[in-house]
Amino acid sequence: MNEEKREDYRLTVCTVNWYSAEFIEELFLNLNQKAAAPLKIKYTVIDNTNGRDKELQRIERLKLPVRIIPCDTKEMKGSYAHGIALNLALSVIDTEYGLIVDPDVHVFINGWENFCIEKINSEHCLSVGTAYPPWQLGMYHNFPTPVFCFFKTADYRNMNADWTAYSSIQLVNYYNFFRRQILRCCLFITRKKYQRHRIIRRIWPRLEKIVGVCSPDTGNRIARKAKKEKIQACLFRAVLPDELEAGQSETLKNIAADFELYCRQGRVILTHRYGTGSWVFRTDRGDDKNYWRELIQIFEKQQKNLC
């Protein structure tokens, strides 16, 4: 722990560790480098290995104000454990603004925190961040996800936000599983098919509206409450390769094809690697972290050459 005692921090960045120290190190350095006011940001890692991941020492060695908090998930795994960690993260944020973010995220825009604050103020919204991609059928798409969720802390706490995933009633989870199979035609409607076939992109979102949220993953309770209470959010949209504007680089198309690329009103905001074991969402090179890093470096270099 090397968090400095200062009273003028304005923002706390929180992420969850599950043997992902290499990504967290890159994330924190990226956010610090692209921030408008890096000295007003502190960082928190919720360690879901509960101290078992010794690689986190590399985070402690960063010359940044970092706090690592062990988290005992009581043998919970996956989204259940992630929800426990995010609720803990929300409870320890003591700055005006907070950011919940996945470790495998890279932000492209300079002054990203000021950009988010401006959106909260100008659009009178509670939160700014990433919507679940449209190819993740059955998820919620109306509120920021744990991939990137920026908020004003006091307002978010007043909402009594709960990141817990899925239902505590097993019969409800079985019912949702059955509905997912109908919506996704078992394993027929994959991300690859969604990207390649426009007819799927026209028909299946309509079917999704009829079936409703049948994969209430991490943050679904927050999204459901926001919809019920008509709470507004500013969303970054995951784009498909053929949705990028004419003239956009081939590099961006490659990022959008194999990973996740998020934009807002035509502006490139960030990328999420999303290495997944799920066959439904897997892409040809989605597990290749070095390819993801290579594409980021190429695009960043292209941006510098344009300046």
Q: Is the CB of residue 130 less than 8 Å from the CB of residue 104?
A: no
Sign of CA dihedral 283, 287, 291, 293: positive
Residue with tokens 């597990």, as numbered in its chain: 287
User: Tens place of pLDDT for every residue, the chain, 307 residues?
Assistant: 565 555 689 999 999 999 999 999 999 999 999 999 999 999 999 999 999 999 999 998 898 999 999 999 887 888 889 999 999 999 999 999 999 999 999 999 999 999 999 999 999 999 999 999 999 999 999 999 999 999 999 999 888 889 999 888 999 999 999 998 889 887 788 899 999 999 999 999 999 999 999 998 999 999 999 999 999 999 999 999 988 876 678 999 999 999 999 999 889 999 999 877 677 888 989 989 999 999 999 999 988 766 4
CA distance 61 to 57: 6
Main-chain phi, psi angles of 139, to 5 degrees: -90, 170
**Can you read off the two tokens belonging to residue 238?**
């995951």
Q: In 3D, which of 299, 303, 281, 286 has the Cα closest to residue 138? A: 281
Q: 11-306 has which CATH code?
A: 3.90.550
Non-local (6+) Cβ contacts of 94 within 8 A are 12, 153
